[in-house]
Amino acid sequence: MLEWRPSEVPGFKDSFVIEHEVNEELGYVTVSFAGDLVLDEMRGCEDRLLEDARIEKSTRRIYDLSGIELNLNTSQLVQMVEICRNWQIPDETRVAMIGSPQNMSTINLFVTHFNNQALYACRTMQQATRWLNEGELPDLAGDDRYKLIVLRGSLTLDDILRAQREWYSQEDFDAAKPVLWDLRSTSAGSSIAEMRERVPFIVSASKGAERSGKTSILVNSHLMELMVKELIQLGDWRDASRLFTKEQDAITWITSDA
């Protein structure tokens, strides 16, 4: 375990500590933060990590922020985003950020600023290590009972609208057929404000197609769960739509008569 303390510079708080530990067997590093957050001290975090010969730019990372308070105003949040962008971690390198119950909302908001980075907000170390080490999710085996739509990558509501319209335009489109949206391999590419602007278009397209079948939405990300819940509420689809984290539960619901 390597530990760094802030240098003796006016404005630094002695209680802010950064330390890291490398798991060479599984190929990732855990960076832990404790005490009172000092944004300026975080600027050198990546350079200090790379001084460790075991760590490269492509090394997967867990940033454990559960030991600090993140009472950031908008300006400070933007500053933290810019600091982390300047670390220039490759987009495909998986990064997990662990928050405490008190700072998860800030971490979720922070993650939305990294549409291209494989960055995931986690609530536990177990969830973080599972995210770093899991392989690609297998495609669901769709069948005639429901329509399966699988999306991947950074997801905006325009992407959902596009997939929606493509389905509605197909010759065999059946308005009463249930649909399962598999969003497990996506990250949120829209802010809440952007989503609220686009929801009326999605609602209008659904009404125009006279959709009557049930909808299951499958996610495995806490942030995507929050976004989809907001979408269901804004679209007033609470009776016809359900959010799931387990594949079989999602399929069972849309294929049942209830």
C-alpha span between 203 and 166 (Å, rounded): 15
Per-residue pLDDT of the chain (258 residues; tens, 9 = 90+): 444 444 443 433 446 788 898 988 778 899 998 888 888 888 888 998 999 999 999 999 999 998 888 888 888 889 999 999 999 999 889 999 998 888 888 888 888 888 778 888 888 887 787 788 765 455 676 678 999 998 876 678 888 888 888 999 888 899 999 999 988 877 777 777 777 788 888 888 888 889 888 999 998 777 778 778 887 887 777 678 899 988 889 999 998 875
Is pTM, for the whole model, over 0.85? Answer: no
